[in-house]
């Protein structure tokens, strides 16, 4: 895709993911409750003392089952599920760092893709476009990687708590792959 970063609303994307997760949890819980009640009622029906089972089975069984009807409320629709901003993205300070090569006017071909590979283990969920990748960690920290159209720099927008960790990953795993270049991180 060739969308610009201003066109990408990653907050809505991650909010929808959270709403779907919450809805799936509600569905699972509802199914669990129904199965649990069915088991309880089945046990109650078997243990019910019925005088002449063969003669009364139809009437007594039906009236007992009618008393044990399962009533479970309807689930809300996905868009009715409220998700707070803190459930979407960690609300800590956001910072942008820039990767540049001091000696060249452009970054090497494949650096952006190699950067994505280096940071991939941190990402729990991600959304990929042509020049931009937006993701978040399990702790809901934002990682947004954007390659400039001129190929001169790469911007990484992250929660401040990830800054040191990502700088270490870049120096050890990415910059070491390009020993002849003078790659640098600007904060």
Matching residue, tokens 């978040």: 136
Task: Report the alpha-carbon distance of residue 120 to residue 177 in Å, rounded.
Answer: 17
- What pLDDT is attached to residue 4? 52
- What pLDDT is attached to residue 8? 72
| Gap between the terminal Cα atoms of the chain | 28
User: What is the spatial order of strands in the sheet that 154-159 belongs to?
Assistant: 125-128, 132-136, 142-147, 154-159, 94-101, 183-186
- Give the pairing type, strands 154-159 and 132-136: unpaired
Matching residue, tokens 């001091």: 102
DSSP 4-36: -GGG--HHHHHHHHHHHHHHHHHHHHHHHHHHH
- What pLDDT is attached to residue 74? 82
- Give the pairing type, strands 183-186 and 94-101: antiparallel
- What pLDDT is attached to residue 126? 93
Per-residue pLDDT of the chain (187 residues; tens, 9 = 90+): 444 555 678 888 899 999 999 999 999 999 898 888 888 877 777 776 555 454 445 554 455 555 555 566 788 888 889 998 888 888 889 999 999 998 877 898 899 999 999 999 999 999 998 899 999 999 999 999 999 988 899 999 999 999 999 999 999 999 999 998 899 999 8
- What pLDDT is attached to residue 67? 54
- What pLDDT is attached to residue 56? 47
């Amino acid at each position: 895709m060739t969308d610009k970063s201003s066109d990408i609303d990653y907050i809505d994307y991650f909010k929808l993911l959270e709403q779907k997760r919450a809805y799936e949890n509600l569905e699972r819980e509802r199914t669990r409750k129904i199965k649990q009640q069915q088991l309880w009622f089945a046990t109650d029906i078997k243990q019910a003392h019925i005088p002449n089972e063969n003669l009364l089975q139809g009437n007594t069984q039906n009236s007992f089952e009618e008393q044990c009807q399962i009533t479970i409320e309807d689930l809300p629709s996905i868009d009715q599920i409220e998700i707070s901003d803190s459930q979407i993205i960690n609300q800590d300070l956001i910072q942008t760092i820039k990767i540049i090569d001091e000696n060249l006017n452009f970054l090497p071909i494949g650096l952006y893709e190699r950067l994505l590979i280096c940071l991939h283990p941190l990402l729990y969920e991600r959304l990929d476009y042509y020049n931009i990748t937006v993701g978040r960690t399990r702790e809901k920290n934002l990682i947004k990687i954007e390659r400039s159209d001129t190929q001169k720099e790469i911007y990484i927008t992250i929660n401040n708590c990830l800054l040191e960790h990502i700088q270490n990953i870049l120096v050890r795993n990415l910059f070491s792959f390009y020993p002849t270049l003078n790659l640098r991180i600007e904060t």
